[in-house]
Homo-oligomer: A and B are copies of this chain.
Amino acid sequence: MRKVCIVVGSRANYSSIKSAMLEIRNHPDLELQLVVGASAVLDRYGAAAEIIARDGFEAAARVYMLIEGENPTTMAKSTGLGLLELPTVFDKLAPDVVLTVGDRFETMATTLAAAYMNIPLAHTMGGEVSGNIDEVIRHAVTKFANLHFPACSEARDRIIRMGERPDAVHLVGCPRIDLVAEIVAKHQNAPASDLFEEGVGGEFDLNKPFIMISQHPVTSEYGSGEMQINETLLAAQKIGLPALVFWPNSDAGSEDVARGIRKFREHHDDSRMHFFKNLPTETYIRLMMRTSCIVGNSSSAIREGAFIGTPAVNVGSRQDMRQRGTNIIDTDYDRHRIADAISQRLEHGRFASEPIYGDGGAGKRIAQILAHCSLSVQKRMTY
């Protein structure tokens, strides 16, 4: 019975790994050891821990590792704090393998703790190119990982080119698309009446055209967040459609973006804007199924967007070089060019589904491989 330890650090993290968690828990040869930490245990980041518990997963440990401040210094120190905390957890749980997700600061802490403690490390969503500190973290985690679960073929190829052994690299798709596929199937023709249950602000008819705005800080452009979101909000205003606006994640600079949103609301009419903090994945995907256009720099526009066929405008450098479908149009931080791009998308309408990031079976594949592969902390470059 192999013990697979997963550290879930945020609400987004959770939906990126949930289907794998389910499959691992249900696999006869695997035992799931769940650790919930970082922003996932904090109310003001959506209390993912409670959602996870409601979904029937029991946490073996809760780890508080976020040092308040939301600037580059506290982000580095939070990683340090995570690295003081996680070894205690791994000592206690003695996992056979640690499965880490993506590219966040708690991913790095999880990775280093496992590596120093000689615990084999598996990694989902490696090999992707995006820009931002996320990308360097992601590639660094690849260099530590003993088992790779890339989400798309380009990512797989990139991991192998980086010197990882091909037999340790398994193209499985993104587990988050597993959830998306389920939701899309379930809500194909469902009504939208409940979609304003969360959030605050104006409400409008979700059967008519509306846009979604989801824009996060770019850590390598720390200090520009307020200007960046402002351009997007002004563009949206110019288009004139009602809008759903999402508060930023907790990366360094999030306070700048949040301030930008607050100031916009103080100086402009926000009666046709509705504001969300964190939404259940299901609600979010249902909104992506309906929106006329998603604008900002969220990876969801590219990843889930490709599967769903959501028209999307990607702003700025945060998603640079991420593999995209035809639903994406790129632009820089300029209200006019953003508005133009939105107009183009509105003209086109919905796109056909492109399963670039998975076909719905990622979780099952990950569990199968974890159950049967050989595990070792020894690794060698292939060149």
Contact = CB atoms under 8 A, between A and B. Distances in A.
Contacts of A162: 162-163
Given A379-B136, A383-B158, A73 B220 contact: no
A57 interface: no
B41 A69 contact: yes
Contacts of A220: 118, 377-378
Contact of A64 (B69, B136, B163): B69
| Copies of this chain, tallied across the complex | 4
A79 interface: yes
A320 interface: yes
Interface in A72-94: 72-77, 79-88, 91-92
B64 A66 contact: no
A51 interface: no
Interface residues of A, number: 66
Contact of A80 (B81, B135, B144): B81
A252 B116 contact: yes
A130 to B, nearest CB: 10
Nearest to A117: B72
A65 to B, nearest CB: 7
A161 interface: yes
A344 to B, nearest CB: 27
A366 interface: no
B158 A381 contact: yes
Interface in A28-74: 41-44, 64-69, 72-74
A77 B84 contact: yes
Contact of A136 (B44, B139, B143, B321): B143
Give the top 4 A-B pairs by smallest Cβ distance, nearest first.
Answer: A80-B83, A76-B116, A140-B140, A80-B84
